[in-house]
Amino acid sequence: MKKFLVLNLLVLFSIGDIVASNQNSKPRVIVMTDGEIDDHSSMIRFLMYSCEVEVCAIIETNSIFQREGHSKEDWYEKQLEAYSKIYPNLTKHNPYYPSPKLLKEISFIGDEDHDHLRDLIRKRWELIPGAKITFTPENWKDTPGSDKIVEVLLEKNPAPVHIQAWGGGNTAARAFYKLKKYYPNDYRRALSKVVMYNIWYQDGAGNYIEQNHPEVTMLYCGSFAGTWNYRSQPNTKDFISQNIKSNHGPLGALYPQDYISEGDSPAFLYSIANGLRNYEHPTYGGWGGRFTKFNQFERVYTDAQDDGDLKKSLRRWIDDANDDFEARMDWCLKSYEEANHHPNIQIKEKSIKVKSGKKITLDAGKTIDPDGDALKFNWWQYKDAGSYSGIVTLKDADSDKVSFTAPKVTKEETIHIIFEVSDNGSPSLKGYQRVIALIVP
């Protein structure tokens, strides 16, 4: 049973003041990483997707599981150095990769004070949405990381800022406290922009933020466990050996694990602008999973179920995401002509409003492949993402043009249609476009 109600497009496209007002702009991202071994792997993948977002900051922190943090080690610096060597070739495939110089300039150290985790190790499984607050940050010291978060949120840019807690969130908690205390006139404007994606609550920050800074939209992801974390993809050993570590440049060679074990990757996959529009609203679903509202708080969301399965909203995209990663690793060394690139989808409609009984036609006939590959089309209804409980019949769902009749409804309902295009390159890549139909009686 759905636990959310979509009333109309205006409500559906907003959470408080968070509105995807400029859908042509890149999602703005701040990464917080505790430097665990799987973070090393996720960071390599993140750097390969850094052209798809506006990277505002990368901050090293600690967590319950990595209490001292790992900023004293040079794992991240080694990755940036390797990135600098492949950067010239990456820009041949996408000119928007951030320069190594920029990435170094926006890299900071955040909260790594183990005292802020006092006694939490025995309570780690109790740190879920709605739990009691364990610590508050008013007496903590500012860090370069927390000050950078304050700086970014004080900017006049109204676009959402996606803060990702791969580890602990204490750095963000201190930043939010400082904004509230020292910038009261800007506080609500600044925090209403925040979408914070939490891979678990790995310190006391989650419960503090949801109860003291309700302007922040909080996403709590637990479904990474069993889909992306340790031992979840053991069948990818050959994939990593052949397509990442070997003959794919110095960054891939640093991949520290033998198979895909990237528990934090869903946090940034959520913000990738790949046409699924995952980051526009927690309930939409995409590579970073799908979420449902947690009843106790206005802007807290937890894992949603697709087809009754808590893991499916992440698991359904894993093969696509890994094929995509493989192709990007080819960009490290190969010329544009030798590598594969995504189909370029052309659909005029992104959101439409129609009355019951009216026929809807969606035309993607101008979709092309930049490499001249043959394309395969598939239109499908993402039933869990919409409010309409029924199934619509999609005519010619395997062509570049699809049609269906708006069903009879007694109140406004939404239907999410996904246009999925696969090329026959190696590896095969998919492009997507989501069209949201608002059906009115």
> Within this chain, do residues 28 and 145 fall inside the same structural domain, yes or no?
yes
Q: What is the CATH number of the domain that holds 175?
A: 3.90.245.10
Q: Is the pLDDT of residue 25 over 90?
A: no
Q: Are residues 310 and 399 in the same domain?
A: no
At residue 398 the predicted structure's pLDDT band, cuts being 50, 70 and 90, is: very high
What pLDDT, in 10s, does the model give residues 154-182? 999 999 999 999 999 999 999 999 999 99
Same domain, 173 and 247: yes
Q: What integer best gives the mean pLDDT of the chain?
A: 94
Does some domain include residue 343? no
Q: What is the arithmetic mean of pLDDT over 285-300? A: 97
Pair 259, 400 in one domain:
no
> Does residue 338 form part of some domain?
no
Give me the mean pLDDT over the 401-420 stretch.
98
Cβ contact 148:222 at 8 Å: no
What's the CATH code of the domain at 363?
2.60.40.10
Q: What is the pLDDT of residue 3?
A: 33
Burial pattern 106-126, b for ≥16 Cβ within 10 A else e, equals bbbebbbbeebbeebeeeeee
Side chain identity at residue 93, one-letter code = H
- Asked whether residue 342 is assigned to any structural domain, the reply reads no
Of 224, 176, 223, 225, nearest to 196 by C-alpha is: 176
156 with 258, same domain? yes
Query: Are 159 and 306 in a shared domain?
Result: yes
Position 171 in a domain: yes
Q: What tens digit of pLDDT does each residue of 83-136 get?
A: 999 999 999 999 999 999 999 999 999 999 999 998 887 777 889 999 999 999
Residue 362 lies in domain: 351-440
Residue 16 has pLDDT above 50, yes or no: no
Instruction: Tell me the average pLDDT across 306-324.
Output: 98
Residue 1 maps to a domain: no
Q: What is the pLDDT of residue 1?
A: 36
Query: How far apart are alpha carbons 49 and 362 in whole angstroms?
Result: 29
Q: What is the mean pLDDT of the segment spanning 238-248?
A: 98
Q: Let me know whether 139 and 216 are in one domain.
A: yes
Q: Which residue has the higher pLDDT, 122 or 232?
A: 232
Same domain as 122, residue 46: yes
35, part of any domain: yes
How far apart CA 205 and CA 203 sit, in angstroms, is 6
Report yes or no: 197 and 205 within 8 Å, Cβ to Cβ.
no
Are 68 and 160 part of one and the same domain?
Answer: yes
More confident call, 118 vs 395: 395
Same-domain check for residues 326 and 377: no
Distance CA 23, CA 33 (A): 27
Together in a domain, 325 and 355: no
Residue 244 and residue 379 in one domain:
no
pLDDT greater than 80 at residue 435: yes
Strands 430-440 and 351-355: parallel
Percentage of the residues of the chain whose pLDDT score is greater than 70: 94
Number of domains forming the structure of the chain:
2
Determine the Cα–Cα distance for residues 76 and 95; give it in Å rounded to an integer: 23
Mean pLDDT of 346-375: 96
Give domain status of residue 381, yes or no. yes
104 lies in some domain: yes
